[in-house]
Every structure is written in C-alpha cells, then in structure tokens.
Structure 1
Amino acid sequence: MANTQTYGFPIFAADWIPEETVRSKIDKDKANSEDGSESSSTTSSRSCIVLAGGGGDGNSGIPNVIVICRVDAETNSLLEQPVGRLVVTRLPYRMAVHPRGGGLVCALPESCKRFDWEDIMRPREGEELEEVINELEDVGQQLAMAFNQEGSVLAAGGEDGTLRVFEWPSMKTLLNESKAHTEVKNLTFSESGKFLVSLGPQLCRVWDVNASTAIASLSKEKDEVFASCRFSVDNAGDEVLYIAAKTGRGGSIITWDTTSWKRKHSKLLKNYSITAFNVSPDGKFLAFGTVEGDVLIISSTKMKTHQYVKKAHLGLVTALTFSPDSRCLVSVSFDSRAKLTVIEQKPETNGINWLVVFLLLVLLLVVSYDFLVVKGIIGKE
C-alpha cells in the first residue's frame, strides 16, 4: 500500500518539515539530481516528514538513523525511498523540529544535538555532522522537547524530572527546575507562546514563560495517569488544553479551561490504551494511537469518532503528527512502519431538525385519516 511504508528501523519520533524548508532546501537540492529537473506542479504537491529511531546501543545490527521521506499530496502516498538518511551513533529518542527552518534537535541518551537539513540530505562520510548543544550535554535522557511557534524558545524535559527552558538560538537559560516532576513525560507551548505546560504521570504544571514561574498545577483524579498534552484553539478562537490520560477502563481525554485552569469535561475511550496523542493544527481533530496498533481520530467539538484505522500498525503506536494543513495524519511505530491516513471529509450534521419531524408527523396523520375515510372505517362528520 502506497500510504504505508517500512523503513527498516523502529521509529520513535516523527514530524513534518516546514514547507519553506522543503521548498528552499530539499527541493532545490533534488532538482539537479538524476534527470536534472522536476516539474513545478509535481514539486509543489509534495511535502516531507522526518523520522527518527533505531536499534539503540545494543548489538541488534539495526542502525540509529534520521531519515527524510517524501509525502505526495496528489496521490496521498509516502514514497518508499527516503530522500535523506543520516546514521547517528546514539538513539534519537525524541526530537523537536524548528518551525522556521532552523534544523532539528534530537534527544539522545545523555545529550541533545542539533542537525541541519542539508547534512541529513547529503551526509559526508568521516565528518561529525551533528552539533552538540553544550547546555544540554550530559543531562541524561530527555523524554520531551518542544519549540514555541515562533521558534524563539526551546523546552526540554528529562527522565530525572528536570525542566529546562532556553531562548533560541542563544541558549540563554529562562528556567531550570530540577524537581518539576518525577519525570517529564510531555511538553506543549500555548498558541501565543505565553504558557508552557509540562506533564508528569500524576501532575500537570502550567508555566508563565516570560515570568519563568509556575502559575497553576493540574492534578489527576482517581486512577488517571497523565500521558500526553497539547494546546489548541476551539471554534470560538479560545485556547484550550487537552490532556490524554490512561485509566483502568481505557484512555481518557480531559479538556481544561486556560483562564481558570479548571477541568471543563472529559471523554472516556473505553478499552483503548493510549500510547500516542496529537491535535490537528486547525483544532478540529484529536488523534490517538494505541498499544494494539490502532489509530483513532475523533472530532474535538463532538468528541465522537470520525475515523478508526484498526491495526494501522503491528505494534504500539509511538508517535502521531498531523500535516500543517490538517489534511492528513502520519502514524509511526516500533514495527518500522510509517502510515499516512487522509482525514475523511464528512458533511456536518447539526442534530435532529424537529420542525421537519413535526411536519412529517402531521402529513402522516392526514394521509392516515384520508385512508380510513376511503375504506369506510371511519365516517366523515
């Protein structure tokens, strides 16, 4: 299937490369290869994703790699042959793509390194292509990384529970909280960049980025275990915070008010064990990956299933990423597969039209009355 490709290594992280980067660097580089040119229509229909993962530090024989893969929007397919592939020494477990084309930051077992897109496209044998970030060297495994939308702030959350926030690219320290959580599982910036949310298993903390201080703590209830978090914007243009949690009955999605920082409502997804979570850029859809390899897409307004892809993967889903135009979703897994799912366009329904129902009932009564009169069952007055 063209919308599913196997790339030969367990995939831990995936994201879309900013369009301006694809146009100015990747497409320009490929234009001179092979036959010398690509048609502008074909080039403009393509996007790229970056995948990272590998076999780790063991002797599995599986390399640790970062790859760039084409996505053809005209045919809704992933291209089998990567257009860029870089082998790295340690496992790139997490990553953050700079939103303005400033490269890629990967979290390796002990440190974080930055990679240029050109180096992934054209690796030069014998050269050290990655750039060690001094402020994130020998800090242990980082479980979460995120840029704000402007690309001016980088946040990193460690396995040891430390939260670090820096200006980018100066790496001036804005926050260094050693006991933010028992471990930092996920990070997300608000649309405005004013807030940063850090997530631990039992507690979610909201930070004012400019003030470099925590302003709210959001606690779990009952048997919830927080797993992932994302900011988004609702239909009214207001910011909303989603937290995906695991419970004894399945996955749960909790919606939080970003003014009062109180729970608004929650939606239980029975029998689904959530391993990956994301929100579409337009805020209309939430996506979940499960331990069984399924992918579930639900409406953010009605909290009802929009699409269900059963057995999208052979094992648990490790990451999900929506395209910038919210038109499709890429899911990845330990099974070395990347799968492209196009979001189905379904007509909006606004519930039951009670006026139509009433008119139909009146018409039915009139027809029934005339029928009984004709049959002589009842007489005319």
Structure 2
Amino acid sequence: MPKQKEGFQKFSSALYCASWPAGQYLFLGGGGGKRSSGIPNKLEVVHASKEQLSPPAASLPLGNDAPMRSALHPSGRSLLLAMGNGGLQRIEVRPQGSSPPDVSVEDDGLAEQIRGDAIVQCLRFSDDGRFVGMGFVDGSVQVLEWPSLRCLLHLKDQRGMRDALRDVDFSPAHRSRILAATAEDGTCALWHWERGEQVAVMELPPELKGGSFNRVRFARDGSMGFFTAVNCRGKGWLLHWAQTLSGDISLLSQRACGDIVTAFDISPSGHALAFGHSEGEVKIFATRKLTPLRRVKRAHTIFVTAITFSQDGEAVVSTSADATARVTLVVSPSGSGSGGSSKLSLKQMLHVSGKPPCVAGSKPVSLLRASAAITRRLLALWISLALAMHAWF
C-alpha cells in the first residue's frame, strides 16, 4: 500500500482508463474482463478535488467487457471507451450541477461499426472536437468525423503502421491535419491524414539507439513541436521535438525515470507533462526545458495504466491495475533537471524507411502460491493483470 494517503482511493477492480472533464467529477474505467473472472466491468463516477478522491458516487455497468482506453470529447458531453474484446462504447454524459452526472451507453451503432475492425488500442479527440483518431491492434489507423462518425481516413496494411498502435494525437498547430502515432515495434510516424500521406518516421538520437517510442503528445501552446515518451534499456526518457526558424529540428532530451513509461499526457494549457511508469511512480515535468516539477514514489504498487490532467492543469489523476487511483498536485519547478539538447538536420531526424528501433523489454508478473480459500480471488486478479499487461507492455 502506498505510504502517502493524500488523494488516494482504493476501488473494487483493476483500473485501466481515466478522463477528467471540467467540474467536480471524473470518470474511471476498469474491471475483470470476462464474466468468469468474477469482477464486474464498469465506469466509475468519482468526486474529485485537488487533494482528494471519493469512493464512487455512481457506477455504470459495462457487461462482459472491460474498458481499456477512454477519450473525452472537449465538450465533456461524450466519452468513448475502447473495449478489451474489440469495438467502442459511446457514453453520453449529462451534467447535473453539483450532483454526479448521469451517464448512459449511447446506442448509435458505433460499437458495431468499429467491431468489424481489429481491437482499438488507442483513441484521441482533436482539440476542436471535430475528429477522433484511433489506432488498432493490426497496425491500422482511422480518423472519424464527429459526431457523424463518417470515416475520413482508414490506413491499413502497407499504408498503416507495421505493428499494433500504442498512441495517437492530433496537432492543434496544424488545425488537426497532422496525426502522430506510436506502435509496439517502437516506431513513431506522422501523417498529413487529409492527404493520406505519411510525412515522417522519427528516428531516435544516437544515445537512445535501440529504444522505442512509447507515447506521443503535440504541444498545446501554439508551437509546432511535440513530445514523446521513449523507453530505452529499461529506463524512461522525455523528448521534445521542435522546428527552428532555420528548418532544423531542435531536440531536447531528459532522462525521466529508471523504469519504463507506461502512461503519458500533456496538460490542456501545454505547460506540463505527466507520466507513470512500470513500478507505480508518478512524475510531472514542465514542458519548458523539461524541468522536473513533482515526483510521487510508490503512488501505486504496480504499473500505472492511465494518467490525465484536470482541465485547469493544476492536478493529475493516475490509475493502476492494483485497483487504485490517486490525485497528484502540480507544483512549482524545484530544479533545473539533467536534460541535454542537440540540433540535428531534418534529414537526420526524419526517415521514411529503415529498420525500426527495438522494443524495450517488460517484466513478467509472478503469483505467489495461495490456499484454496483465496485461489479464486488470485486467479481473478491474475486475469486483470494479464489483460492490462497485454495492453501496456
């Protein structure tokens, strides 16, 4: 159990996704997957402050499938859930003032429309709410118009990624026309999706050769840069890619942690980055110079599955497969960090072909022997962990 109790809350099942709209309540999704696990799948509605999480104020049952990823529309009125067995669930959110919002599954055909494709691994709304991008386990990428759900782009086979997707994001500075994606083979690619053109495949600097791109977020301050979380030789790094006036790519790198990154996000204002790693730690950095802001050791007992900012950027909520959630405050800079910067040409940084970087390894989960009285509970926990490990490592 984590030592620091501030902002900490234990739930009844593993948690895999989190979304924090404006207001007093946030959404946490999780469960045990198959009915045989004995652990229900549901969306929890939780009252949140900057220092405290309450027990669930309301819950929405989700049947025999666990939500693994979530994406909140900028309006706060729609929530998309990527389900573990494939397909999406669209949740309608109706605010109720100071009371918990009403949430219900919206039967608009979206689940069946997407279920015919591969399992959704990641999804993200554009900041203007007009588009939703999705990455699939087979390496394909889709962009849907919102709210019509009309498919505007479907890159598959040779036109998509070569492995299962890990993350996607739209560039606000390019009016959401540029889409970035990372995949499980460690690659990071950028598309001008309206043209269906892949414009770049990023390559890591020499000191991180053999590493893998894990997560990606574009800048939110109007600049054309973006940030990536990279795992290399069992350690996590943050990289800031920014285009200079001369047309070169300026790269700022910072070793962020001694374990691999499993969750990553940027604040709505673009001033801070937050991530969680494989040993349950949460860290927050300023985007400017990648300066460390906050570190919470043992925020969770096992790997962090999701992390997201409040709408004002003053706090983050993190979740874990250990069935815990925690609110962490963002504080003022406390040091200059130990990052390094370099300037490389576009030719050095952007590649359209070549062997992708290797994927950093992951640690297996081991189970202790248990008596017959607790075997079933341990088996249910193992199923939840296996489901999460497959999605995050």
TM above 0.5, one fold? yes
Matched to 1:257, the amino acid is A
Q: Is the 8 A contact 1:3 1:339 kept in 2?
A: yes
Contact 1:11/1:336 (8 A) holds in 2: yes
Task: Provide the C-alpha distance between the structure 1 equivalents of 2:258 and 2:86, rounded to a whole number of angstroms.
Answer: 36
In structure 1, what is the Cα distance between the partners aligned to 2:113 and 2:238?
A: 35
Superposition deviation, residue 284 in structure 1: 2.2
What displacement does 1:184 show? 1.0
Gaps of 5+ in 2: 337-393
CA contact (8 A) 2:120 2:136 kept: yes
Matching residue within 134, 137, 146 for 1:159: 137
Q: How far did 1:268 drift?
A: 2.0
CA deviation vs aligned residue, 1:282-320 (integer Å, no higher than 9, x gap): 222221211111111122223232211000001100111
Report which structure shows greater RCO (CA 8 Å, sep ≥6): 2
Q: Report the 3-state secondary structure (helix = DSSP H, G, I; strand = E; otherwise coil) of the residue aligned with 2:331.
A: coil
Equivalent in 340, 343, 346 of residue 327 of structure 2:
340
> How much does 1:171 deviate?
1.9
* Structure 1 segment 110-189 matched on structure 2, within 5 A: 110-118=86-94, 130-133=107-110, 134-179=112-157, 180-181=160-161, 182-189=163-170
Structure 1: gaps (5+ residues): 20-45, 350-381
Name 2:355's counterpart in structure 1: none
* Cα distance in 2, alignment partners of residues 223 and 331 from structure 1: 28
Amino acid at match of 1:230: R
- Aligned AA for 1:65? K
Paired with 2:335 and 2:64, the residues of 1 have a C-alpha distance of 49
Counterparts of 1:64 and 1:347 in 2: how far apart (Å)? 40
CA-to-aligned-CA distance 1:126-170 (integer Å, 9 cap, x gap): xx7554414312222111001111211111110110101111122
User: What secondary structure does 1:302 align onto?
Assistant: helix
Which residue number corresponds to residue 255 of structure 2? 268
Q: Report the CA distance between 1:100 and its aligned residue.
A: 1.5
- 1: CA distance, partners of 2:138 / 2:248: 26
| In structure 2, distance between residues paired with 1:72 and 1:6 | 16
Quote the residue 2:309 is aligned against.
322
Question: In 2 relative to 1, CA 248–168 (structure 1 residues): closer, same or farther, beyond 3 Å?
Answer: same
Larger Rg: 1
RMSD: 2.5
- Alignment of structure 1 residues 1-381 onto 2, 5 Å: 1=5, 3-17=7-21, 19=22, 46-57=23-34, 59-73=36-50, 76-108=51-83, 109-118=85-94, 130-133=107-110, 134-179=112-157, 180-181=160-161, 182-191=163-172, 192-200=175-183, 201-220=185-204, 222-233=209-220, 237-248=222-233, 250-257=235-242, 262=249, 264-345=251-332
Give CA-to-partner distance per residue, 1:243-275, whole Å, 9 cap, x none: 101101511112212575845132223523211
With structure 1 as the length reference, what TM-score do the two structures score?
Answer: 0.76
CA–CA separation in structure 2 for the residues paired with 1:64 and 1:308: 31
Judged with a 3 Å threshold, the aligned counterparts in structure 2 of structure 1 residues 176 and 261 are, in CA distance, closer, same or farther, namely farther
Q: Structure 1 residues 245, 280: CA separation in 2 closer, same or farther (over 3 Å shift)?
A: same
In structure 1, C-alpha distance between the alignment counterparts of 2:278 and 2:237, rounded to whole Å? 14
Between the two proteins, the alignment pairs up a number of residues equal to 315
- Report the 3-state secondary structure (helix = DSSP H, G, I; strand = E; otherwise coil) of the residue aligned with 1:99: coil
* TM-fit CA distance, 1:97: 1.0
The one-letter code sitting in structure 1 at the alignment partner of 2:37 is: S
Instruction: Give the CA deviation at 1:324.
Output: 1.1
The 1-side partners of 2:106 and 2:181 are apart by 31
Which digits, 9 at most, give the CA deviation of each residue in 1:195-218, with x for residues without a partner? 111111332121223333222221
Q: In structure 2, how many angstroms separate the alpha carbons of the residues matched to 1:89 and 1:309? A: 34
SS in 2 for 1:214: strand
2:39 counterpart SS class: coil
TM-score, with structure 2 as normaliser: 0.74
Structure 2 counterpart SS, 1:268: strand
Rounded to whole Å, the distance in 2 between the matches of 1:344 and 1:107 is 32
Whole-angstrom distance in 2 between the partners of 1:52 and 1:271: 28
Q: Give the superposition deviation at 1:3.
A: 1.0
Report percent identity of matched pairs: 27
Structure 2 vs 1, CA of residues 111 and 165 (structure 1 numbering), >3 Å: closer, same or farther?
A: same
- Residues 102 and 214 of structure 1: is their aligned pair in 2 closer, same or farther, counting only changes over 3 Å? farther
SS at match of 1:93: strand
The alignment partner of 2:113 has SS state of: helix
Secondary structure at the aligned position of 1:116 is classed as: strand
Structure 1 contact 249–270 (Cα < 8 Å) conserved: no
Q: Which residue of 1 aligns with 2:362?
A: none
Structure 1 residues 289 and 324, CA gap change in structure 2 (3 angstroms): same
The 8 Å contact of residues 252 and 289 in structure 2, kept in 1 or not, is answered as no
